[in-house]
Structure formats: structure tokens, C-alpha cells
A and B are shown apart, each in its own frame.
Chain A
């Protein structure tokens, strides 16, 4: 009898432990922390293009974004671990000739903390996957990029829009900065504007319309000329430039001016 009671007590204790574990894990999900990432509170976001003539709002769920762009050093660590992504081993369907070409004559540590460039979309996807992360969606990236230093909706300010455009107008001949030496926005994310273009997971969703009966579903409203009449905010030229870049990009391209950072959904 004593034994039965003891067993019963044991079961009860283990149940309590399980229950308290449950509560504990619930508590950690609400205050989840990932090293090197910041939480972007969700919200509503107005994509650049209207749908059926109407500006639309998209809800962005909260997510975690890397504070910094992935650096040369971080990417090289990944490449060491996954040899199929080495410059001399990568399959040509995953990256063009330029892949990691800037690191050939690499001076030991000078470029270590610069954002990695000359990386294809496939390689960026593989890098994020290896970290248990993924590339941000267009909506996630654009949502986080609306923030200036004091407001999540800094993009509403004409001054901030002007500043982004000035950055874009700067010729890309200067060496890239250390990722830590860039401007930080409201969320604590560094270098969203003015350093390099950044990859998004669904860049190949640009130029697709709702009219999927048409042949390749190419979006006529996005072509030159009529483009601006369909935009929700025609003053946001920088968003046009990003949109244009994405829609002309192919997943194996590697560019001197394109880097990336990763996200976690929770």
C-alpha cells in the first residue's frame, strides 16, 4: 500500500513537473530571444502595388530579424562546413561565375566583417537554412525597412525617403562598411538602407498577377510607363528600385552589391 501511494505521489509530481514545463515554455515563447536577432512587432503594411486598382493592406505577423547582414567571415564558416557551396565546387545551376569571386585574393581579415556579397539567392537560402532560419519574405523585409531611427513608420517622413534615395544615388565604388558601422533603425536593425541590396525568399513573386489565366502571368501594369499609376505610394521611388531589381533578378545571379540577412518566424 505504501508503495502504491508512493507511486501515485510520484506520478502526481511528474504531472506537476510536466504542467510547469508547459507553462515555462509558454512563457519563453512570449519573451523569445535569439542571439543576434531582434523581434519585429507585426503590423499592417501597404505593398507598393495596388491590386485591382485598390491600395491594399497586408498584415505582417511578428518575426525575428538578424540585426546585421551576414558577413564574409560568417559565410566562409558556412562554406567550410558545407563544401558543396565552395566557390570551386558549387554547381553552376546554383551560382554564376562571380560567386564569391571577391574572396579569391582575400587579405586576411580586412573584409571579415563586411557584408558578404557575390552570393546567389540559392546560396543565401542554403546559408539561412543551415542556421535554422530562412530569408525574409518581401513583406517582412519591406515592413522592417519602413522604420527610421525613431519610428517604425519612418517612411512616412519625406526627409527619410529623401535620405534613402540619396544613399541609392551614391556610386557603389566605396569599400563596403563593417556591418556594425551602419545606421540602426527603430527595431535595432543595422544597415537596412544604404549598404547593399538584400535578398528576399520570394523575389520570384514579383511580376505575377492575379490573372493567372494569362500566359506567363506577367504583370503588364508593372512595365515601364504605366508602372507608377498603379503604385500605392508613387513617391516611394526607392521601393520601385527594389521592386525592379527583384523582378529582373534570377536566383543564380551573384552581384557585388547584393547581400542578405535571415529571419525566424518564431
Chain B
């Protein structure tokens, strides 16, 4: 009887369902929060689970660095094998929830020819954005009404939301990030 019970517990612990549901301890998807994308659709953070993805923090009015972050991401994607380059999801998080409305975010994707099948921008209230920025080690600060200073970080998350690699700063060599992406697929 005791044997049966331990067998039952073992099955429970190692069953594929349990394994699939349990997030790794260091997953950023532990942060229960509901975001909104450029089509005003609600995106629970756990919905991002399932595929490795690139994540970066931007704001759409940004004149200096954000266009550079976007082009750096494009550059990274272009260096990947072709099937991966067109399928690797990219999630952008706005740092300015007041000005970056879903319409504004949608227009930004269009303007920069970013395919919505691959690219998405998410917004939420300012507290949740602060929490998420800390989970990625991103610092930012409003400098004036129209300008935010922020760290330039491109992050690779694995399918479970664990940070695998980060490009911190735009001059950093992209090779280590690219190697990580390729080896994680």
C-alpha cells in the first residue's frame, strides 16, 4: 500500500502535465500581470510562454536610441538561419504607457515595417512596467515631457521565460547572442 502511494506521488511529480505547468524558479513569467498589445488585446504574461523570444524596452516617440535598438534586433535576426529569422518572436515593452496607446504602438509597427506576426508591442500601468524592467535589469527615467533615458538591453528569453543572454549596450558584439539563439532551438 505504501509502495502504491509512493508510486502515485512519483507519477504525479514527474507527469508531463506537472512538468509543463511548473515554471523554472528564475522565470520572469512568475510576474502575474495582464498586458495589452497594439491591437488592444489582453496578453497575460504567461501567454508569452512556449517559444523563445527576444525582448526589448522602448518607447515609440524615442528619437535617438530606440530606432537603434530596433535596427540592432533586425541585424541579429538577419544573422540567423532563414527559417529562424522570420519566426523568432520579438516582444517590445513600452516605457511610456501614457503616450504609447495601442493605436500609437500599431502605427509604430507599421511605420517601421515590423510584421505583426513576429513583432508585438505591449503596454500596462506604470507600476507593472517598473516591475518588469527590474526583472530584465533595465533602468529608465523621464528626463522631460518628451524624453526618457533608458538602458539599451536586448534580452533572449527561453521558452519558459528564463533569461539566456543579454546584449547590454548597442556597441556590444552580437555574436554571443546569436550563438545562444541558435543553440536554444
Q: Which residues of B contact A156 (CB under 8 A)?
A: none
Query: Contact at B134–A121, with CB atoms within 8 Å?
Result: yes
Chain A proximity of B178: nearest CB distance (Å): 19
Interface string of B163-185 (1 = CB under 8 A from A): 00000111110000000000000
**How many residues of chain B have a CB within 8 Å of chain A?**
32
Q: Which residues of A contact B28 (CB under 8 A)?
A: 93
Q: Spell out A's residues near B (CB within 8 Å).
A: 51, 91-94, 121-122, 125, 129, 134, 201-202, 204-217, 250-251
Query: Contact at B133–A217, with CB atoms within 8 Å?
Result: no
With known contacts A91-B30, A212-B65, A217-B151, A207–B134 Cβ distance under 8 A: no
Complex: chain A residue closest to B167, CB-CB: A215
A211 and B148 alpha carbons, distance in the complex (Å): 10
Query: Contact at B26–A215, with CB atoms within 8 Å?
Result: no
Chain A proximity of B86: nearest CB distance (Å): 29
> B127 in the interface, Cβ–Cβ < 8 Å?
yes
Residue pairs across A and B with Cβ atoms less than 8 A apart, 30 shown, are: A91-B25, A93-B25, A93-B26, A93-B135, A122-B131, A125-B130, A125-B131, A134-B127, A201-B127, A202-B141, A204-B139, A204-B140, A205-B139, A207-B139, A208-B140, A208-B150, A210-B149, A212-B65, A212-B149, A212-B152, A213-B170, A214-B169, A215-B168, A215-B169, A215-B170, A215-B172, A216-B151, A216-B168, A217-B151, A251-B135
A214 and B64 alpha carbons, distance in the complex (Å): 10
- Extra contacts, 4 of them, besides A51-B143, A93-B135, A134-B127 (Cβ < 8 A), are A92-B25, A208-B149, A208-B151, A215-B168
Q: Which residues of B contact A205 (CB under 8 A)?
A: 139-142
Query: Contact at A204–B130, with CB atoms within 8 Å?
Result: yes
A208 and B148 alpha carbons, distance in the complex (Å): 9
Contact of A217 among B25, B30, B68, B152 (CB under 8 A): B152
Complex: chain A residue closest to B23, CB-CB: A91
Complex: chain A residue closest to B131, CB-CB: A125
Query: Contact at A217–B127, with CB atoms within 8 Å?
Result: no
Q: Which residues of A contact B135 (CB under 8 A)?
A: 93, 251
> B147 in the interface, Cβ–Cβ < 8 Å?
yes
Interface string of B115-151 (1 = CB under 8 A from A): 0000000000001001101110011111100011111
A83 and B134 alpha carbons, distance in the complex (Å): 22
Complex: chain B residue closest to A211, CB-CB: B149
Q: Spell out B's residues near A (CB within 8 Å).
A: 25-28, 30, 64-65, 68, 127, 130-131, 133-135, 138-143, 147-153, 168-172
A91 and B168 alpha carbons, distance in the complex (Å): 25
Chain A proximity of B71: nearest CB distance (Å): 13
Q: Which residues of B contact A217 (CB under 8 A)?
A: 139, 149-152
**Max chain B C-beta neighbours (<10 A), residue from A129, A209, A210:** A210
A129 and B127 alpha carbons, distance in the complex (Å): 9
Q: Which residues of A contact B127 (CB under 8 A)?
A: 125, 129, 134, 201
Contact of B65 among A92, A129, A213, A250 (CB under 8 A): A213
Q: Which residues of B contact A94 (CB under 8 A)?
A: 30
A214 and B68 alpha carbons, distance in the complex (Å): 11
**Max chain A C-beta neighbours (<10 A), residue from B26, B130, B147, B152:** B130
Contact of B169 among A134, A206, A208, A216 (CB under 8 A): A216
Q: Which residues of B contact A204 (CB under 8 A)?
A: 130, 133-134, 138-140
Query: Contact at A202–B149, with CB atoms within 8 Å?
Result: no
Q: Which residues of A contact B30 (CB under 8 A)?
A: 91, 93-94
With known contacts A92-B26, A122-B134, A205-B139, A216–B149 Cβ distance under 8 A: no
Q: Which residues of B contact A206 (CB under 8 A)?
A: 139, 141
Q: Which residues of B contact A210 (CB under 8 A)?
A: 143, 147, 149
**Max chain A C-beta neighbours (<10 A), residue from B64, B68, B134:** B134
Query: Contact at A208–B141, with CB atoms within 8 Å?
Result: yes
